Amino acid sequence: MADKFKTVSLDTMIDKHVGKLGTKNRDAFENELRIDLLGQAIKQARQARHLTQEQLGELVGVQKAQISKIENSIKNARFETILKVFAALGAKVNFNVELI
């Protein structure tokens, strides 16, 4: 029974089902993944500071719903708002831009 299953790497699975690096589908997948990670980072930082979404929204000057959207990776959040969120959380933000 064990012979029916083959172990493969995550990269191999993504290459097969999403597309190889540099393809349109893979680029879209990678960008969406980054946005999801950003939302998760905000949520984790908020929770580490013991803040509710409503409290963080008050610090930033936005409604609770906007914080929820950002944490859940809704893609229409303004960059300025995201930076304000990190500032309100007392979080240092680093961006890395690479020319390819």
Predicted confidence (pLDDT) per residue in 67-90, tens digit: 998 898 766 778 888 889 999 999
Contact status, residue 14 vs residue 27, Cβ threshold 8 Å: no
The ranges assigned to domains in the chain are 8-88
Distance CA 98, CA 68 (A): 30
Per-residue exposure over 13-33, b if at least 16 CB sit within 10 Å of its own CB, e if not? ebeeeebeeeeeeeeeeeeee
* pTM > 0.75: yes or no: no
Distance CA 51, CA 38 (A): 18
CATH superfamily of 8-88: lambda repressor-like DNA-binding domains (1.10.260.40)
Residues 4-34: pLDDT tens digits? Answer: 778 888 788 888 888 898 888 888 777 777 7
User: Please, how many CA atoms are within 13 Å of residue 71, restricted to the half-sphere of its CB?
Assistant: 17
